[in-house]
Structure 1
């Protein structure tokens, strides 16, 4: 029953910070108690005895921990077998006579909604998705799978295979072809080609935006100011979202309460995508003075909760941008800005700073970090961050100690000297690697690098830089991202040109 399923999910969170979070508790209780008779609706979390389920969870945990390596291997092999059998049945689709892998062929199971950042829905229950919730997109002559489906459509213009409305977030969820499908790869390449085209025309675009910010027409000034925020601060447009994104505050949907005009700076503070805080300031200088003046005018006489850019939508913004460069939309800016900042960072790295493979990977990750900061891909520090960092620091101390001891080793023969030099070189390598790991962990603690690596940084930049530095580009990407970006193996990007001319 659903009550038991929910109680078990709560018990699994027992030793996490979530069970102390008032919003998480309140949301869980609202959904959980709704399944009980009226008389229990006012119960508090401490009134509910979860001890039996805590015991079950603890027993499962202990059973897992007490398993031998062989047992764990056997269990993993069994699961893999089941998964592969299911994938063979459900994980493939035929498009234009070709068989392609399906990306997310398993529907998300019911469970507690975790969210990212301070998501207001955290702790609520994600209900089970049934066939009656799902719309299938099939060819007219395709056999319809067994089940009572919500609807069968034949949309030849779309790439999705199935969709449904998430009952909790009210968002549309989609099933897509895998990243390795040619259709997806072509679309991916086209996205980055658009960003490159913006790079070639960026001066023209910024000049036009700046000119329109001074326009006598109030609406044109508003649209141009929104565009300037998108360009200058890598803000999302606001009222436009991908099918898998939550509604989000962005440039066009900023309210008076989100902006503070100071004497020498403009401060922005709001909850962006996935309720992650977006907090940045921009200095008022000669270039940004018009931004300050326009915001001041558009905010005048408005209340805290009112929109700054009344009646301006993504449609207005995209129409304005499309007149400057054909096909240009607000979305292209974030891809361009992330790719541009990576290119500029790597162009500042001298050859002598990348003598070892670890140094090269470190600088590539630091370039990746610039993109994550630009796009505001913040995260809560990993749960075991401090513990993991201490481990690395202890390891560093041990290596340093061993290195000092090795240096004191006396050698009598040429062979011993040769052996010692090899050991010293290896130890110095370990020392360098550990130092880079510590530095990287500290620098990237508050940012998720994977989002920008997957969705915003043109992979041809890293491929060109890695070729130039003499390392394989796959060192920077997980196996799944290597498959997603396999099209870059045909790339003709040359790092020398990128470093000299920039991302264009």
Structure 2
């Protein structure tokens, strides 16, 4: 866990003054399994529970008059002018959707229909949106896409509000540029209107099966990574092949800007999307049981039962909400496709999915047991089948497509305490998908029976395909890959917008500091919210409906989420994005403390803290401070500027490579803590750490034997300070166990070599070795380890082969450096066990900071950026070492 010292350092770096910051959290889940399980203890905050919205028909609640808990009260001069309070409008209840057509959608659920509303009025609408639907006789377009931050770091409460505002003109949209982008092509938006008077709101739900970044093929990724760094591609000996690959890279960042910011492409040709294969029924002998008896299910109901059976040993199957939603949807399926033997399934507790689970496990084991040749052939067949979907032609250039695979049907996992986890996700068919393609391009043919829902030719958007999933009514999109020119331009614009903020931030801070004492309550609340967003890197936040997890951001904080502690401390305790607990004790300015006290007066715990501020009004005000400024830009600016400052503070002159990496990762951790990028400790962490510690002791054992060899050669080395100290964490018992382990490995290695040598001799039509040869080799190994056992405790050792003293000393020095570096690696791994470093690296840290730092300190960028990130940020790889954020 991050320490109080870590938080203090971060708060100083961002705010420029001392403050005490504490952190406590229940961890952040991994990308593959993003659901956080919050511990149920006496310390559980009120925010951990799902808060039900009031019914639309519920009359407004009369606020109870409460006496302030402080002796002093705000003077009349310091109290904002009273104004008509903004009424909190509860979200309308959304009826749950059932699997009417099993895994095939027969139509959008009610909430999906409501979400299919054009979001053209949003004040911060993105240029990457479909053209207007107003034109008669044209294909009805999906709503405009509000691009979000990628990866596991997207807040369940949107950073940018999308409430109604006057519609922007085409000329106005022409001047706008995208400030943020979503590099995770598989994570999409959920656009649904809120209850009146707020018009349209964006909500993005990420499915746990989505990946952080689109996976490019290994070969292509490697080529791109090497080429952007100017190094030859490993394994390619032909110069012409290397030059040919380099010519394929389109360096868009060296070309002129693409049009006026509205038209994204001139020609676009692609092969559509790849649908998953149809369901294959289970073998006749594999059946689930109900009340101890086998049940004969039709394929439609059997497929849904299989979804649950496959997750039987996961945490999801232990979740009451997950089980309830699954069983309700499964029963809906069985109404239309009942068991063939007439069994009535009415109780979830009597269902036994174990036989199906065991069958799936056996199939997985068979797949795992495939020979390397069989795996290569299967992989080759898959790549050949997918090849035509992986790329498209954009303005005549070949570009990679991101998430071209349509997600198969299954059970929705959600994130955190999502109320719909376990619900059935229908199978997507061509009739659900709208294709976007160039006018003159051939229309792709689906790889399953059916016709596209619609085909459009909109060159003002960058998505290739669009559909609406049934669980949350989210609009799903297929985009180009993270390393494509369009995605790269969006990333670069985002970070340049954050860099632009540094020229305005001092003035903005002066303005909101002045407004902290404003006589107008709305202005004072807005200034206080800006203080939190700027100083604490909070997300903006929007209100939630009853069918969404109760996660909040700055503008949606309730009184229960902030506690006052004299003299000037605020204790924040709420569920942030992905239901990750945000708990910090912050030392704030006296005026901010006083404002929060005023805002909480005469309110109940579940009332909004900022009842006169919402995300839309906040972002509208920010655009008056700087063109294109939103609350999200503050988060990117503070993360990148803090990261740059922390890196610059370290003096790494003479540092080893591992020390440099540790310094970089420490700065990365500080930013992750600032942004509350937590994760749960990996289940294999303790096991992994134990392996690393064992390896460290093994290295120390090798160094010990070399030291003892020196002592055996010349006793004077025992008095040399460089060699005199024994390894403190190695005792005789550990040495005995380690040598036994080494002996077993040596014998196993000898047996494998013996078998391999005999196979080679048979192939050459020669007589294979007899078992006596193997026994002689094993006998030699046992004799060698018998000698090692006799040397224990003597501080003398002999080596297998004699080496000059100089070579032994050199080997000891190398091992000492290796031990030191590996110890730092262990320390770094353990320090980051509860912090998600990749999220900020992908979303909030300008990649040019990392590349410039690597050039200054002679660190290979591959040590810090994965191949995927190098492919994603090719425009950053050519930056000079003196570049600063």
Structure 1 length-normalised TM:
0.88
Give runs of aligned pairs for residues 5-404 of structure 1, distance below 5 A: 5-37=303-335, 42-44=346-348, 46-67=349-370, 71-88=371-388, 90-146=389-445, 147-239=450-542, 249-263=552-566, 264-284=568-588, 288-352=589-653, 355-404=655-704
Where does structure 2 lack aligned partners over 5 or more consecutive residues?
A: 1-298, 715-801
Q: Which residue of 1 aligns with 2:862?
A: 474
Residues 62 and 376 of structure 1: CA distance in aligned 2, closer, same or farther (over 3 Å): same
Which gives a bigger RCO, structure 1 or 2 (Cα 8 Å, sep 6+)? 2
In the alignment, is the contact (CA less than 8 A) between 1:180 and 1:484 conserved in 2? yes
In the alignment, is the contact (CA less than 8 A) between 1:234 and 1:337 conserved in 2? yes
CA distance in 1, matches of 2:304, 2:810: 58
- 1:446-504 C-alpha deviation (Å, 9 max, x unpaired): 12211111111101111111111111222211111101111112323516xx4xxxx4x
In the alignment, is the contact (CA less than 8 A) between 1:214 and 1:221 conserved in 2? yes
In the alignment, is the contact (CA less than 8 A) between 1:341 and 1:371 conserved in 2? yes
Where does structure 1 lack aligned partners over 5 or more consecutive residues?
A: none
- Shift of residue 371 of structure 1? 1.9
CA distance in 1, matches of 2:537, 2:380: 42
Q: Residue 878 of structure 2 is aligned with which of 465, 471, 490? A: 490
In the alignment, is the contact (CA less than 8 A) between 1:208 and 1:324 conserved in 2? no
In the alignment, is the contact (CA less than 8 A) between 1:118 and 1:276 conserved in 2? no
Residues 172 and 339 of structure 1: CA distance in aligned 2, closer, same or farther (over 3 Å): same
CA distance in 2, matches of 1:308, 1:445: 34
CA distance in 2, matches of 1:276, 1:430: 38
- Shift of residue 381 of structure 1? 1.5
CA distance in 2, matches of 1:189, 1:164: 28
- Shift of residue 230 of structure 1? 1.0
DSSP 3-state at the match of 1:206:
helix
CA RMSD of aligned residues (A): 2.7
DSSP 3-state at the match of 1:424:
helix
- 1:405-447 C-alpha deviation (Å, 9 max, x unpaired): 3222227599622321332233223323332232122211112
Give runs of aligned pairs for residues 446-465 of structure 1, distance below 5 A: 446-465=834-853
Residues 255 and 155 of structure 1: CA distance in aligned 2, closer, same or farther (over 3 Å): farther
CA distance in 1, matches of 2:876, 2:564: 44
- 1:330-350 C-alpha deviation (Å, 9 max, x unpaired): 111111121122212212322
DSSP 3-state at the match of 1:492:
coil
Structure 2 length-normalised TM:
0.52
DSSP 3-state at the match of 1:8:
helix
Q: Are 1:419 and 2:719 matched, yes or no?
A: no
Q: What is the total number of aligned residue pairs between the two structures?
A: 485
CA distance in 1, matches of 2:659, 2:451: 56
Residues 253 and 87 of structure 1: CA distance in aligned 2, closer, same or farther (over 3 Å): farther
CA distance in 2, matches of 1:240, 1:470: 47
CA distance in 1, matches of 2:470, 2:642: 39
In the alignment, is the contact (CA less than 8 A) between 1:246 and 1:273 conserved in 2? no
CA distance in 1, matches of 2:345, 2:678: 37
